[in-house]
Amino acid sequence: MSLEKILAISGKPGLYELKTQTRNGFVAESLADGKKISVSLRHNVSLLSEIAIYTNTEEMPLGDVLEKVKEKESGAATSISHKDSKEALVDYFSEVLPDYDQDRVYPSDIKKVIQWYNLLHSKGITEFTSASSSEEE
């Protein structure tokens, strides 16, 4: 499963897998507990494949950032928890992505990236970049 079908829904914790489209929204399944929910088009929904992190030179796709976390951790879960101190999160993220824009990437964003990485890793989703983008590079 790629990030193309993984959603972040505003106001709802965790990540969701897009299951099917309905007349006025879609059905998504929580990656955390497997519960299915109906999501209307009024919710603010983001595909993980469309999210990017600001760096000092450009915006880096979230998939590339998650790949860097995977490289740093040698494919394992993160050595830091999303509940750690703000300073610890910033230090960790500086190691993963040294040129991230510290003015536009907030500790809450770093917390989400770490939490999302660990959730995806626990579900066996470890391919964060699509094959087509890897071939183009």
Together in a domain, 18 and 83:
no
Q: Which distant-in-sequence residues (6+ apart) come within 8 Å of 43 by Cβ?
A: 9, 10, 11, 12, 25
- Does the pLDDT value for residue 132 go beyond 60? no
Together in a domain, 64 and 15:
no
Q: How far are the Cα atoms of 74, 96, 127 from residue 121, in angstroms, in the given order?
A: 12, 17, 9
**CA–CA distance, 114 with 118 (Å, rounded to integer):** 6
Tally the domains of the chain.
Answer: 2
We report the CATH number of the domain holding residue 34 as 2.30.30
The model's pLDDT over 75-122, given as tens digits with 9 standing for 90+, comes to 898 999 999 999 999 999 999 999 999 999 999 999 999 999 999 999
Together in a domain, 60 and 104:
yes
Structure tokens at 126: 């470890």
Q: Which distant-in-sequence residues (6+ apart) come within 8 Å of 83 by Cβ?
A: none
Q: Which domain holds residue 109?
A: 52-127
The model's pLDDT over 8-47, given as tens digits with 9 standing for 90+, comes to 999 898 999 999 999 889 999 999 999 999 999 888 999 9
Together in a domain, 12 and 56:
no
Per-residue pLDDT band at 131 (split at 50, 70, 90): low
* The residue to which tokens 């009024």 are assigned: 42
Per-residue pLDDT band at 134 (split at 50, 70, 90): very low
Together in a domain, 79 and 25:
no
**CA–CA distance, 53 with 110 (Å, rounded to integer):** 10
**CA–CA distance, 76 with 88 (Å, rounded to integer):** 19
Together in a domain, 39 and 71:
no
Residue 39: Cβ within 10 Å count:
18
Answer yes or no: is 133 within a domain: no
* pTM of the complete model: 0.88
Answer yes or no: is 25 within a domain: yes
